[in-house]
Structure 1
Amino acid sequence: MTDKPIFPAIELKNVVFYYQPAGWQMSLPELILQPGQHLFIKGASGSGKTTLLNLLAGIIAPRQGEIMLGGTPFSRLSPGKRDTLRARNIGVVFQQLNLISYLSVLDNVLLSAHFAGCNNAESRQRALLLLQRLGLGADLAEQQAAALSVGQQQRVAIARALLTKPALLIADEPTSALDADNRDSFMQVLLEQANACGTTVIFVSHDAGLRQYFALQLDMQNLAQGVQPCC
């Protein structure tokens, strides 16, 4: 019996992106992350962090080069097929959380299953389990998201992003509005739950102090250097 090949969670080769008319350009020779690895991307405003995230999530395609997601040529797919693969394999935690305030906590979490085409009894059970692990019991599951504290809303966002056990989790500046105590608590919960799912994490922030939580880093000011160990 042949073992199933294990592909990198995400792989970029000779990726180039630029906006027309010609001006700003980003060039990334290589980025390879194995399943379960955690990467911290640092860079100032305007350094291209959002563009890189959009490339990784398949929202835009590179002008040159290739992006592979779990062995699939992600960047070669049609926009519709990229949308489908993204919904099933990529979770995102946004800076603004993007919860729907009038929906219940549970329904907010189940949105990711809906878009992935797997909103069923099993998804509901996993959503409730995730919420419980994140300290949000059944008594909160039916409350509107607007009724929760900011810290509780962050945990809902984590549960939503991890519900489908995505191969890749992208976190876009989710701690920028938090004080030090809440920031550290958020990081611990996020990475703990990602580890439980075996999910690869790409975390973007201008806060260099968050590097302590990561083994790998990528500096937007020196992309040619590629992925490096965190100090």
Structure 2
Amino acid sequence: MLMAAAVVCCALPALAQDDADAKKVAETYLNALSGTGDEAGKDLLLGGVTMNAQLFILENWKIKSKDPVRKEEGDLAHAVQLMSALDKSGRTALTKLMGVESVGDDLKMTEVGPDEAAKLLAPTKERAAEFAKYHAVLSYALRVGKEVYWHPKNPMRAVLSKAGTKGKYSVEVHRWTITTVEGPSKQVRDWPLRVIRFKSQNIDTGWKILPASDWNAE
């Protein structure tokens, strides 16, 4: 019992440091956007600074709330296997949804109705649900189950491609709700800001801004 308590006590400072480091990254990025800090803070975006991020400016910001931290350690080979199965299913469904089929040496276009489309998408939804079941935080970071998962700018795809296929991975996501007051009408807007760190034998991203809000707020 004493040993278990000692382990917990030793773990608490590390957890507090992780929270502090993630929050510092969030604040540095927000200050860069608002012009109150070094513009180099935009480089904290996972995957690099996009054109939208270069042009985006915040008039002001404040942290409204913070979600519970999401943390996960999992088998990398299994995650890559499920991701490959999901991608394969998605490509197959897309081809069929386009209504293209081979007839001899020609291509024939057919119309796909709503009911048929639902049937075609069912296997892909099943693969997405399986991914989320076994790798909940990783699937959240990848935006599995949402349209942005398939977006070519999804930076977590590039991370996974460099992560390797052996050993364990760990992923941690901190999510804040940011409030900004915008424009002459002083319109209040709440939006999510996520800070992520992914580690495997081959890669450690460090604390980075997950730039989903750059091209999709979800």
Structure 2-normalised TM-score?
Answer: 0.26
The structure that is helix-richer by fraction is 2
Structure 1-normalised TM-score?
Answer: 0.25
